[in-house]
A = this chain, B = another copy of it.
């Protein structure tokens, strides 16, 4: 694009950063695709919840319900072949990165057709070929891995970047500290995306931190950082788009804190004694899907009817995935020692 067009680009300010409103320039089809992804996540998690209730999931799951805008907004702001690392609460990142819903669901049910042939389950879904370097059962465990992937990008000069998702809880792990420091001194192309959903399991962020903004940890590493509304897809998209550009040209890592909320219990057995129903209700009122849908409808990109059709389509797709998963075979016991070594 010519320099002369520059002045016309719409800019917005997010937590002190002047950021181009790239969202407004997107094709309508992409804007709708993002809504579809959010629906996929929402209904995937609803279906998963049903499986849990019906005792069909051996193990636990951590649902992403209510946090959809962060995964979708961030991942749509980077390229298809960029890398991400995910967390124990990883279904959303995985779906946004383009995972096949059937294969994901099969993994949750421990089936041989799943992403990990039933060996990993919810906490270890990965699809290295598509750039998804995996969920991780260890809180903070993927921050070093993500940083290493960014080192690969730099060394191979492959033009890719990494988005490293992690929770507020993970920001107090040692690996957070050592990794971000390395990314900073080496100017690695990585976006650290901290999903601050108010709690790490039962521990409120305000009890685990003595700072107002987790993104202020940028001062410890000499990097950029800011705090955004994680339930606003447009804000997430624009912020990540901006730093996507910065990181890709070597202007170092960034720490983005995305404020959001987990609607469900931490995992399958959580009485949620540490929070009030009112608080949850308030956050449900900030439903990222409703908010985004309203924007699309207000901007006449979508009409109510289309939206209902879209959601219906997604629901039947999820039912399909559940069916595929249920009907898939379990692995054979004899496969247990396969895949330990290459």
Contacts and interface: CB of A to CB of B under 8 A. Distances in A.
Nearest to A223: B210
Give the number of copies in the complex: 2
Contact of A174 (B178, B208, B223): B178
A245 to B, nearest CB: 20
Candidate in A177, A178, A217 with the most chain B CB atoms within 10 angstroms: A177
A98 interface: no
A1 interface: no
A207 B187 CA distance: 12
B173 A185 contact: no
Interface string A152-189: 00000000000000000000111111100100110000
A221 interface: yes
A336 to B, nearest CB: 34
Nearest to A253: B210
A217 B223 CA distance: 12
B222 A219 contact: no
A138 to B, nearest CB: 13
Contacts of A216: 219-220
A249 interface: no
A224 to B, nearest CB: 11
A184 B211 CA distance: 10
A17 interface: no
Interface in A210-263: 210-211, 216-217, 219-223
Nearest to A185: B210
A209 interface: yes
Contacts of A208: 181, 185
Nearest to A182: B172
Interface of A: 172-178, 181, 184-185, 207-211, 216-217, 219-223
